[in-house]
Amino acid sequence: MPKYLEHIAFYVLATLGIFVLYLRNRFKHAYPLPPGPPRLSIIGNFRDMPTKFQWLTYHKWAKQYGDIVHVNIFGQSIVIVNSYDIAFDLFERRSSNYSDRPNMVMLNDIAGFSFNFAFMRYGESGDDAEECCTRNSTSMLCKNIDPFK
């Protein structure tokens, strides 16, 4: 094998190794994620995810890892909540912390579509627009309904 091919192979492998280390450090989260089943490097927990009777697997994981379980499938983090009380606390009581549309700078700020109901961020103006939209669409739908049919 010629010398230059050995050098090329070395540089390709070194670059690939540095890239893998970069990706590994890039996806570290600021806050620790909940415990979960061990994962493989690229596919994560893909083989662990059930296709049938999911609740049985999630119940088993809840007994083993706790009421909040983290799995990773092809780099996508999934958090499974196994307790009604925790789910109610997170999704009902604290829903304003987690519910919002993404900030679309190109649409809202540059193109000027911030007035559009579909692109509005949650807040007072969004609530007013939603209430107005609901009130008007409901009254229009009610006119078309014939109660005697």
Per-residue pLDDT of the chain (149 residues; tens, 9 = 90+): 567 777 788 888 888 888 877 766 666 666 788 898 988 888 888 988 889 999 999 999 999 999 999 998 888 888 999 999 999 988 888 877 777 677 777 777 777 776 676 667 666 565 666 666 666 666 555 555 555 55
Domain definitions of the chain by residue range: 1-30, 35-99, 103-149
Find all residues with CB under 8 Å of 73, minimum gap 6, and list them.
43, 44, 45, 46, 49
Helices assigned H by DSSP within the chain: 3-26, 54-65, 84-88, 95-98, 124-144
Task: Name the nearest CA neighbour of 72 among 99, 45, 94.
Answer: 45
| 49 vs 43: CA distance, rounded Å | 11
Tell me the three state secondary structure of residue 49: coil
pTM over 0.85: no
